[in-house]
Chain A
Amino acid sequence: DAGVIQSPRHEVTEMGQEVTLRCKPISGHDYLFWYRQTMMRGLELLIYFNNNVPIDDSGMPEDRFSAKMPNASFSTLKIQPSEPRDSAVYFCASTSGAYNEQFFGPGTRLTVL
């Protein structure tokens, strides 16, 4: 079975550019989560969806960040404009009510120069 799929795996961009990260959750999962990993804060929840509806976006750093889930099999996290402090690894995870744990994708390593 395919796990959570994220693309791209690596992204290098210049400050001020728009960045779009993509995620395909595990089929049948109705929860999708976006995290950012940093040394200081560990795994920080940015936003999560249930049945494609955003439930909690209190972790989104600022208006430069936005996330969408147009259907059950696809989500995007967009940063516009990007800044060097956005450099981090971004993870997508999915789950359903049948599980206690979340299932993570391999992550996207973002570098903003």
Chain B
Amino acid sequence: DQQVKQNSPSLSVQEGRISILNCDYTNSMFDYFLWYKKYPAEGPTFLISISSIKDKNEDGRFTVFLNKSAKHLSLHIVPSQPGDSAVYFCAARSIQGAQKLVFGQGTRLTINP
């Protein structure tokens, strides 16, 4: 069963506009959430994270929102830039799982000039 789901395989956004990537989870024991960015032929790199005790975390152009009641998180990128074109993975860590992460399927973001 897929405990972390990214239901949009792809997303296309105009440069300068807002990109919103979504992620849903099912496990109530998840207490920490991360977003990773992946370019072709490279490994995923950590982008931003949020603890379950918060509902928002911001880092420059990137903001992650967490809605625990809906078991939903989203990543907002404002403004979107061509270099943001990549695959974005949502990941979650369980209280019981030590350093283990559960990843979603990924969303391919394309920023159009």
Q: Does A97 sit at the interface, judged by CB under 8 A? A: yes
Determine the chain A residues whose CB is within 8 A of the CB of B42 once the complex forms. 106-107
Chain B residues proximal to chain A, CB less than 8 Å: 2, 6, 32, 34, 36, 41-46, 49, 89, 91, 93, 98-106
Q: A41-B105, A42-B6, A42-B105 are in contact. Are A105 and B98 (CB under 8 A)?
A: no
Which residues on the A side are within 8 Å of B34 (C-beta)? 100-101
Cα-based distance from A4 to B46 in the complex (angstroms) = 14
By beta carbon, the residue of chain A nearest B49 is A100
With A42-B103, A48-B100 already in contact, 15 other A-B pairs whose C-beta atoms are closer than 8 Å: A42-B104, A42-B105, A44-B103, A45-B101, A56-B100, A91-B44, A93-B43, A97-B99, A100-B34, A100-B49, A102-B101, A103-B46, A106-B41, A106-B43, A107-B43
